[in-house]
Structure formats: C-alpha cells, structure tokens
Structure 1
C-alpha cells in the first residue's frame, strides 16, 4: 500500500500543537481565505480538537476522513501537550474563533450543496441592479427639478429678488370732503416722509448735519439721530414726516447712504380752520381721529363704534430695486397691487355760511369774556345743517375755532328755550289757548324750594302768550300743571330731547331727560322752564325748527351724498320726520315767538335785520358749581345763555341757534337776549345773501316798523 503524500494544509506545528484551518473552507469568491490567512499571521488558531469539531459541523475534507480511518493516530495527535498561552492571547483567539465561525456559516449557505447561487454571482443580475439604481437616481433628480422649477418656483424667485428688490405700501388716496356747492373742505396733498436705516449709514455725523440743515431739525432731534445712526443697531428710524415735496427732492439729490425719501399724503383744510369743528382731524398716518374724519374714515377704531369707513380706501403695494448701499434706483418702481381710492363726501355745510358763523361767534366770545360758544344753522324743511360752529379758548386764553364739535357733544340746561315745548304741549292738548290767563306771582313754593321769575313783579294775571313773551317761570309751571306731567314728558321726548339725533356724530351726547315719575320735589316743576333737564345745541335747534316747520320734527342731516371711485354720486336718504304738534298749534307758537323779538326779551335779535321778520326765544340756564349748587361760596352764578330763532316768520326757511357758555355777567352778558341774540341778528342778512333769500311781500314785521 503506497504512502499518501502529506496535505500541506494539514501541517502541524509540533512545538505548539497548532493545526492551520482547512484551505477549502476559505477559498470562495469573497476573499475570506485571504482574510483568514492574514489573521493567521497575527493570532494563534484554536487547538486541533476545537478545529476538528468545527469542521464536523460543516464539511468533511480528506484529512478528517483519514482521522477516522486511524483513530489511534488521531487521538495521539489531539492529545499532545500544548504549551500554556497568555490570557490576552487566549482572548484574541476567542475573538478570531467567533469571526471564523461566521465566515464558515456564510460559506456553508453558499456552497453548491445548498442549491443556491451566491448573490450577484451572475453578470445579468449585477446589470439589473445597476440599471435599477440609475433609474431611481434619475427619478429623484427629476423630482427635485419639478420641485424647484414648478412647485417652489415662486419662492425661489422671491428669495432671489429679495436680495436686490424692496417693496413698500402704496397709500390709497383718501377721499375728499366737499361742501354742498362742491367747495373743498378737506383734501389730501402730496408730501414725503424722511427715514433712515442706521445700518447702511456711512457717516452718521455728516448725515445728521445735512438733514438738520434741510429739515430745520432741533439740536435734540439731531443728537438723537446721530446716536441712532452711530449705533448701527436699528434698521429703521423716522427723521421727519409730512415734509414738503421740494425738501424731499433736495435730500434725494444728496444721495445720502441709508436715507430714504418715501412719498405720502398730508391732510389739509383749504379754508384754514373753517369747518374744523365738524370735519374733525386725522393723525399723521391720515387715520381719522375726530369728527367726520373719524366717523367715515377712522378705520378699526371707528368700525368698533359701528361706523362705515368710506374715506380711507384700500392700500396697494409697489416694488423697487436698490443698489449695493440699499438706496432706491430711480425708474425701477413697479406697482404690484393697485390702490383703491376712498369715497368723497358731500356735506350739507355751506362753506361761506360756516365761515360767517365762526367769525361772528369768535367776536362775541371775545366781547362777552365767555368760555366758549356754539352756532347751529339748519334748513327748516330738510333738516340740512348749513353751519355748525364751535369756539373755545386755548391755553393762553385766546378765542379760537375748536377742534371739537361742542354743539353735538356738550349738553347743558336749555333754560327758557324749553318753555316753547311746555306752551306748545298745552296748546296742542287743548288745555290752554294763547288767551288763557293765570294769576302769576313773582315767587311760589314747590316742594321744599321756593321758585321765582327772573325779574321781580307784582302778582298779576298773565295770558299764555304773555307768559312766553315775558318768559315767566311761574306762569310756565301753571301751564305744565294744566297739561300734566306725563303728557309734558312725552312731548319733550317727541321734540327730540333725551336721545341722540340721527347724525350719530362721534361723541354725541343724548342729553339728560329723566322720566316724569322719577323726578322728586321741585324738579318735577323746573323742567317746565328748562332746569333739571339737559340738551345739546343740536337738539335745541331741532326743537325750535319743529315749530318753524309747522309742527313737523325733521332730523338734522350733515351728509347729502357720497361719490364713488367711478365718479357716480350716491344721494343720502332724506331725513326722517314725524309730527309733534298740529300745524295750527305751531302757527300760534310762531306768532308768540315773533312777539318775543318784537316786544319781549329778544329785541336785540332784530337790531341789524332789515326786511325780514324774525322770531325766536331766549334762554338763560345755570351751570352747577363743583359743589352741586348753582351759587358758589361767593354768591356767583355761571350762565349758559342762548337764543334760538328762525326767519322769515311768514314762510320760515332757516333756523339759527346761538349759545354762549359762561358769559361775563359783570359785562352785561348774562342773559340770552344780551349774549346770544346779537349774533343771530348779525347772521340773518349774511345767510339771506348766500342763500338768495328775499323778504316776503307780505312781511308782518313788528308794530312801529316802517
């Protein structure tokens, strides 16, 4: 029997007893054999006995079969003594053994005996994988192309444009306010605002000095701007707003880095202060803050009060390019969103009559040493307001046209003007006639108080007509008692007291009118002649206008039309009306009021009136002091003096109210006939001239008139 050649792969180190692993186990396509050989150079492999057990679990090469044929020889070799190995070396061998087991497991699963081909062993499979990866990559790339070119196209363009373009709000044109004849009362004119971006300013000191010189800035403002620009922290600081366009052009020509000139509008009143009390005010951003500017253009604040915004319009937006210094490049403006202009208002106000009323009132407030005054002029039939003026005094005591519409927002005791309501109620109820007579003393006790007339007189019979002409307080109470407290209260409500007028003017007062059954003591009686009740000048003018309009109450009106952006005029609805007293009752009261001017307390109401017959009623109310009394510790009284009348008596056209607040009694202006009636007389011919009114051919006049 021939001797078999020794297997080199089964060579054994007799000194250490180490047997190398089978070569066939690691000769696969993965290169495991090479890794195993490299491992063999640095680590000692497990003993022959362990190696044999591992091979038994996988394959049985020739050497293993020979071991079975000669068990004695195999056993002799496996039990040869092995020199001891260091602990760290044994640990490395264990790690190597575990790695070898994993390799053997992989080799066994891919062996021909398993019936499976190794993964990616075929060139066609590798080609398919490569094609699949290429297709997936192409799909991903196309997805990004679609995303950036279609979906995010706008965002990317915006991001790029933001680096060299800017945008700003493009203000809409605020609607103008016209008088009844088309004369401008309020309009917007071009202006500019100057602002600075401190981060872009190159020379803060020089820039601040240039702005100070052109804009006439104060030293404090200049120092503030210099500090802000030097800090380079903020991105926006206003320098000055509402600047004349020519000054803006000068600043723009300097090309100062970081300084911007932005167009805006400025609100002006072409007539100066004419109509300011009614028109109101806007803030620097052209948002209404008072008067009609607020009522029809106060934006969010006005909307919260229930007002419709007609004047403001809708803002737009404009884009422009900037250079590397952030300065706008001329000629690059492009409107992104077109602004929509606000609507125009056409008022019932006549600018000429308004001006005349304000000037006459200013003169009288100065002459009477008064605190303030109001005038209301309205058309008898339509209720249209021709003028509504308010005058007060500024901090240095000078009389001026007020920013506030005191005729609508302030309420005072009307005084004897309220006697017209009491007399008309008695006549309309049929409990009295103009000739009905009452015995009227100078004073009488009501409740716990003693009430009296304004002038001492003997106890005497007085007709209802004389009671009104002579303005008797006690006589008016007699008519009230004949009418009844509840009926009288109902008439006061029907005349418009105790509630706001249809104007719904911002801040308008409803006055004070307690129910008849809520009044106690003498207050139940004093309301007959205008004490214990409060009304605005607007309400009081409407009361007398009802008498002039043959007993028909007509609500006052300030806006006659609006004009849209298309130029079409939309007429406002006519004023609401209701009957308060019968026409015959109104005619009786009209004649009595004519005699008040001709024979009674309002003689000064016709001093400068020629050709027209006028009628009216004076009123002198008292204002309570802070202590609640009408008389202070020094015995002084504060008066609120009025006169309300109309002309011509034969066919009334215009109603005029004049009220003077706190006239100086020492100067002889305490009563309405002295403080207010002269203003009425001054206004009648001016109003007649503006409106083209002519005295009627059948003018009644006063007895003794030529």
Structure 2
C-alpha cells in the first residue's frame, strides 16, 4: 500500500515553497501568535488592571515617616535644666532591601558615577546581601556582624537595629552609602541633672519615653508631645521623589515645666542632710524650705542617694513626701493657737507648772524633771512643757482642738499631688481615747509629713494666714505661652495678734537654742520636737527629732523644716537644729536678706 504524503510537504508542493521558505513561514506564524498574546496581555493590564497595577507600584514606593516630638523640659525656678530630652536616633533597617544589596567596588566605574563605594577597613566587603550590610554597620554600631546579618536577612520593611544612638553615630551611617537600606529615625533620650538632685521626686521615663514615676509620671500629659508624620514616595536610593509628598503633619513638642525649686538651695540642702545624717549617725533625714510669703517650695530633699531616671527612682517615691511621723512638741504651736483663739488663756497668763500631773485618770510629765516652775503661757511653749499644755487647755474642748489642727492643715492634703505623698493621720475627736485627747496638745496621737509640718508653722510666719503650697511655678507651651501655676489662695486660721504672739514665744525658743540652731545676724522663731515612734521591733524604741524655724523672725521670709530619725543627741534642737542653722545661713546669704533689728518686745516667759 502506498505511503501518505506528509501534510507539510503537500502544503509546500501546492504553494511552490521550498524547505527554507516553509521554515520562515512557521517561525513567522509562531512570532505572530506570541506578539498577539503580548498585545492581549498588555491590553488586559492597561485597560482592565491598569489602575490596580499603578497603585501597587505607588504603594511600593510610598513611605510614611514618623516625625518625633520632643518631651518638655523640667527646670528649676531660675531656668536650670533638671530633666530634658536630647537628640538621639533609632537605626532602622529594611531587610528586603538589604538582601538585594550589592556593594559598590571601590575604583569601579560605578563608584565614580555614584561618588561612593563600599569597603571595610580599606578592604573589599567580601560579601553581598544582608551579610555585606552587616559588615559595614557592625564596626560603627559596635555589634556582632553575624548576629546583625541574621536579623537583616529577610523580607520585612522595618527592623530596629539599635536604639538611641548619638547624632555623631547617625552621621557616620549616613556616609556608608546605604540609603534605602538603613536610615536613622529621630528619637530622644531623657537626661537629668547630675548627682542625686531630686532623684525620686523627678522619677523617670520608660523605654517608650512615657513618664513612669515621680513628676515625670504625674506631669506626663503636660510634658509629652504629639508626634507628626510625612507620607512621600521614595526612589531606589531611598531619597524623596520631588513633588510626591501627599500628606504631612507637624510634630508638637511637649510643654516645659518650671518648678518653684531653686536648684542651688536644693543642692545645698541635700549636702547638709547627707553630711548631717552621717555626722549624727541617723537613719535618714528630710528637709523642706518654703517661701512663706508665696507658699512656694524652694527645696525638698531627703538623705537617700537616688539618681533621677534610675531604676531606684522609678521604684521609690521621695521620702520627703512619703515619710510620716508624730511631730512631737512642734505640735504645741497649733494647740496653743487653739488656747488663744478660743479665749481659754492669754499669752502672758501665769501658771505654776509641776514636773508631773494627774489629769482625768492619766499621768503626764515633762521631758526633764523640775520643781514647780513659774511660767507664763509663752514660757510653757519656750520650755516645751507637756504638763503646762494640759493645764492651759483645760477649757478647750476636744472638738476645738481638732478643728484647730485641721485648720493648720494637719491630716489635710497639701494640694501638691506629689507621687506617693501621704496625708498623715488625724482621727476624729470621737475616736480619741482618754489619753489621746490630751497628747494631741503636744504633738502625739497624730502624724504628719514634712510638707504639712512646714505649712502649719507658715501660718505663724504669715500672721495667722495659711497659704496653699506650690511646687509648679509655670508651664510653657511650644509656642512660648507661659501659664503661671503658683497658688494665690490664702485663708485666715487665727487672728493676726495671736499669730504674732505665738511667733514672739517661738522666738524665745530660738534664743534658747541659739548656740546650736542660731543664724548669725538674724532672729529665729522656732519650735523643736522629739517624739518616740515605733522601731523595727514595733515598740517605741525609735526617735523622731525635728526642728522648724521661721527666718527672719522679725520679717518672715522662709520656713525651714529638718527631720531626722534616731540621731545621736536625740533632741531636735541639738540635732536637726544644727542642720537648720546651716541651711538658714545659706538662705540669708544667697537671697541677701537684710539682717534683723534688735529684739525689744519679748513676752515674759516666767514670773
């Protein structure tokens, strides 16, 4: 049977084609099919998927960069910076760009065109991709190149390589020729005044820059700013393509806070406390300096050595606001105010005061044995007689005693809202037992913090008026607008005449301790206190020694409180009083306070 002729040969014979012409025809037909497919695909992409494809390309080029705001500063009353944020950068890597990286060889035509090349210690990089990027970065960031290379080897678009590098380090990285692969994102680091100035009071911030403790925490909403952003398209080198910024918002920096604290005074108070606690072998010490004319807190320190911003500062509130104690005989001042204001006695009334007294089934005695003394009411305060106070207050009801303590701010919040601040304890008269109703006359049976005790004595310095205390002086926003925050509230507690009489009697106390607590050239009105408190074993085995003074007594400017626990020497006038004298002398010199006029109006203390 005859073989059938192949189709292509028949096609060639019928159309007069040789084999070469036939192959050309077949190739042409194949190319036509391919071209037709490409045209169809192009039409589909352009007409049906054009918008989506263009958007995808735009998205790949688009970057949103956060513009970091700066946290506000905390300064002292004179503008000295106590806490501020300094410029730092987070180094960011783009892993999918790093894996595609090829170093530019030095001396190559590409290097001449680009104006840069890549090398490590003068030698070729010796790798490509993430490993090459890591070798270039590691020496500058002082990290392990292998570990960094492993982190960068991926397809992500955002990797924090290292946080809080200095601007100098960031500039070195900018010169590496890694644009589009590695860049610096503006950040900040919180730094604080040197030494331990206001350590726990200032507190600190967390890793995100948010206030974590102290004033940094309570003022966080004021201090923190609002971040901004910029949305733009970037070229292959990571540069901004001109005209492609589609959206942006400026960052708004946080507000600056100015404290009433004078850093110079606070530093000196810290120094005196630290040396005093060591000298008297005390467990701790705290001190407050208040401008009694305005209620501004000039210094607020304790003997704890805690640096602001440290872990300790974030875990421990300042002892100067958390520590409470019985004020001891300093509490005789508001109690005597109750005696005078309620008309029970006059300041020069005469008393015969024994060492010990039985009263309503309770025994009371003074700190030192003595015979029957002839003291005036002013003399009872000057000699700090517990027995005399009980005798003088016989016609002052428990309710009247409680009301006066409350008016002096005992048991009441200061309004400063400081972190960890305690209000102390002042029970109601109905809760007082048969002994407590009289022990409150000499500062036992209730507790205070140092700020409250300072505020109470400021009533006497201010001629019977109590002022609301302030520690925030002003707040300044990013536009420079200043808001004054010093409180102006003042409330009369006792009549002016009684306040002046009490200050007169307190000046006799100051003269009693002139050798240890005197300030040369200045009259001092003061009150000492020594109170037994519970020790580590829960028994009354520990001592609180306090001293509160008004300077100058004839023209009050400052109230200074010093408190120590368990100092050698025990009594407040001999221990805390010595620290008061050093602080007082510094205040008078720094603020150039005129010296006192001679005292000519002393109220008799005995008869």
TM-score (norm 1): 0.66
Indicate the larger mover: 514-523 or 273-282: 273-282
Matched, 1:389 2:286: no
Equivalent residues, number: 522
**2:223 aligned counterpart, secondary structure:** coil
Q: Secondary structure at the match of 2:299?
A: strand
Query: Displacement of 1:338 after TM fit?
Result: 0.7
Q: Pick the aligned partner of 1:244 from 166, 169, 183.
A: 166
Check 1:401–1:229 CA distance in 2 against 1; reply closer, same or farther (3 A cut): closer
Cα-to-partner distance string for 1:477-502 (whole Å, 9 max, x where unaligned): 33343322110100010011112112
Equivalent of residue 460 in structure 2, options 542, 547, 558? 547
Corresponding residue of 2:82: 185
2:535 to 622, 625, 629: 625
Contact 1:193 1:264 in 2 (8 A): yes
Where in structure 2 are the equivalents of 1:342-421 lying within 5 Å? Answer: 342-393=254-305, 404-421=317-334
Does 2:576 correspond to 1:673? no
Per the TM alignment, residue 583 of structure 1 is displaced from its structure 2 partner at its CA by: 0.8
**Residue 649 of structure 1: which of 541, 545, 553 is its match?**
553
Question: 1:449-480 CA deviation, whole Å, 9 max, x = no partner?
Answer: 75433223335444322221122223223334
The structure, 1 or 2, with the larger RCO (C-alpha pairs under 8 Å, 6+ apart) is 2
- Mapped to 1, the partners of 2:53 and 2:277 lie a distance apart of 68
- What is the Cα deviation at residue 546 of structure 1? 0.7
Query: Which residue pairs with 1:35 in the alignment?
Result: none
In structure 2, the CA distance between the partners of 1:653 and 1:197, relative to structure 1 (3 Å rule), is same
Question: Paired residue for 2:382?
Answer: 469
Select which of 185, 189, 193 maps to 1:262.
185
SS in structure 2 opposite 1:639? Answer: strand
Residues 465 and 254 from structure 1, CA distance in 2 versus in 1: closer, same or farther, beyond 3 angstroms? Answer: same
CA-CA distance at 1:340 after TM superposition: 1.4
In the alignment, structure 1 residue 690 sits paired with structure 2 residue 607:
no
**Map of 1:169-568 to 2, 5 A cutoff?**
169-195=66-92, 213-215=139-141, 225=147, 229=151, 232=154, 238-254=160-176, 260-270=183-193, 273-297=196-220, 309-319=221-231, 328-329=238-239, 336-393=248-305, 404-444=317-357, 450-568=363-481
Mapping of 1:537-616 within 5 angstroms?
Answer: 537-572=450-485, 574-600=487-513, 603-606=515-518, 609-616=519-526
Between the aligned partners of 2:146 and 2:398, the Cα distance in structure 1 is 68
- Counterpart contact for 1:548–1:646, Cα < 8 Å: yes
Structure 1 CA distance for aligned equivalents of residues 377 and 501 of structure 2: 11
- Name the CA distance, whole Å, in 2 between partners of 1:507 and 1:353: 23
How far apart are the structure 2 equivalents of 1:315 and 1:367? 50
Q: Secondary structure at the match of 1:382?
A: coil
User: CA-to-partner distance for each residue in 1:595-617, whole Å, 9 max, x for gaps?
Assistant: 112125x64111xx221111111
Contact kept? 2:260, 2:297, Cα under 8 Å: yes
Give the secondary structure class of the aligned counterpart of 1:553. Answer: strand
Following the alignment from structure 2 to structure 1, what is the Cα–Cα distance between the partners of residues 54 and 329?
76
Q: How far did 1:235 drift?
A: 7.0
Superposition map of 1:130-141 within 5 A: none
Contact 2:344 2:393 in 1 (8 A): no
Determine if contact 1:658/1:680 at 8 Å carries over to the other structure: yes
> For residues 242 and 262 of structure 1, what CA distance do their matches in structure 2 show?
9
Relative to structure 1, the CA distance from residue 603 to residue 516 in structure 2 (aligned partners, 3 Å threshold; closer, same or farther) is farther
* 1:158/1:590 CA distance change after superposition, 3 Å: farther
After superposition, the C-alpha distances for 1:12-59 in whole angstroms (9 at most, x for unaligned) are xxxxxxxxxxxxxxxxxxxxxxxxxxxxxxxxxxxxxxxxxxxxxxxx
Which structure: larger Rg? 1
The whole-number CA distance in structure 2 between the counterparts of 1:495 and 1:416 is: 15
CA distance in 2, matches of 1:612, 1:320: 69
Q: Are the aligned partners of 1:374 and 1:391 in contact in 2 as well (CA < 8 Å)?
A: yes
For residues 152-174 of structure 1, give each alpha carbon's deviation from its aligned partner in whole angstroms, at most 9, with x where no partner exists: x8x98775433123323222122
After superposition, the Cα gap between the structure-2 partners of 1:148 and 1:237, relative to the gap in structure 1 and judged at 3 Å, is closer
Q: Whole-Å Cα distance in 1 between the matches of residues 560 and 49 of structure 2?
A: 74
Contact 1:372–1:393 (CA under 8 A) maintained in structure 2: no
Work out the CA distance in 2 between the residues paired with 1:657 and 1:337.
Answer: 50
Going from structure 1 to structure 2, the CA distance change for 1:626 and 1:353 (only over 3 Å counts) comes to: closer
Offset at 1:526?
1.9
- Judged with a 3 Å threshold, the aligned counterparts in structure 2 of structure 1 residues 227 and 331 are, in CA distance, closer, same or farther, namely closer
Counterparts of 2:135 and 2:285, CA distance in 1:
47
User: Which structure 2 residue ranges, 5 or more long, are not aligned?
Assistant: 1-42, 100-128
Distance in 2 (CA, whole Å) between partners of 1:700 and 1:330 is: 81
Q: Is the 8 A contact 2:523 2:596 kept in 1?
A: no
Check whether the contact 2:138–2:148 (CA below 8 A) recurs between aligned residues.
Answer: no
Q: Which runs of 5+ in 1 are unaligned?
A: 1-140, 298-308, 631-636
1:639 is aligned, of 532, 543, 561, to 543
Please, what is the CA RMSD of the aligned residues?
3.7
